[in-house]
Amino acid sequence: MTIRISKPAFNLREKITQLEGRVPFERMPVGSMMLIGRNTSSNRTNISSNSSWTNIVGADIEVHPRLASSLLEIHMNFTMEAQNAISGIGFRIYRQLYYMSNVVGPSVLIYDNYQHSHWGTGNWTGPGTMILEVYDNPYSAVADVDGSVTTDVTTKGTSIYYYAQGYKETGNNLYVNYGQDAEGLLVTVKEIRQ
């Protein structure tokens, strides 16, 4: 007895059309990267107080990652200018969880860098450029309402908010984006599939 097996024709072009030419992020290979947030700012921040942390205006961003298992790459780039002998500068980046645009978690310090550098003795020094690059897995402790750990966070309403602070130990004014350039402060966040 002969058995014949037939399978329907498979049309690759039709399958790609069904996906609208895009592969869902959930099906992309591990290590795939996707830009999920970009923010530019022309704000100027003066870090005028010695030995206290100051929020850098415009160095904040709210993002909506696709997968809870993803690693996020936070990249901040901004210019600096100092007035008279600044020493001891530092930068911090914090994360907060938002749910439907409301804060639901405490500020968590994810980056802390302090250098005892000296910015000269003249009236003005700089400009210099600061580049901060940090990797974060913000959803490692986020769970669904029923208690199970979530994998797809697109419909959960939870977003991630990042912001930065600057510090100087001594000296006169320390400015972030003194010239108020349109892109003098740039923040990008990329999601890396794990």
Q: Assess whether the previous peptide bond of 24 is cis (omega < 30° from 0).
A: no
pTM of the model as a whole: 0.81
Residue type, position 23, single letter: V
Residue 120 tokens, joined: 């000269």
Q: Max Cα separation, the chain?
A: 97
Predicted confidence (pLDDT) per residue in 62-74, tens digit: 999 988 889 999 9
* pLDDT range class, residue 99, cuts 50, 70, 90: confident
- 16 vs 179: which has the higher pLDDT: 179
Lowest mean pLDDT segment, chosen from 35-44, 67-76, 148-157, 174-183: 148-157
User: 95 with 107: CB under 8 angstroms?
Assistant: yes
Q: How many CB atoms lie within 10 A of CB 80?
A: 21
Please state, as a whole number, how many other Cβ atoms lie within 10 Å of the Cβ of residue 145.
Answer: 7
pLDDT digits (tens, 9 = 90+) for 18-28: 666 677 778 88
Amino acid in the structure at residue 166: G
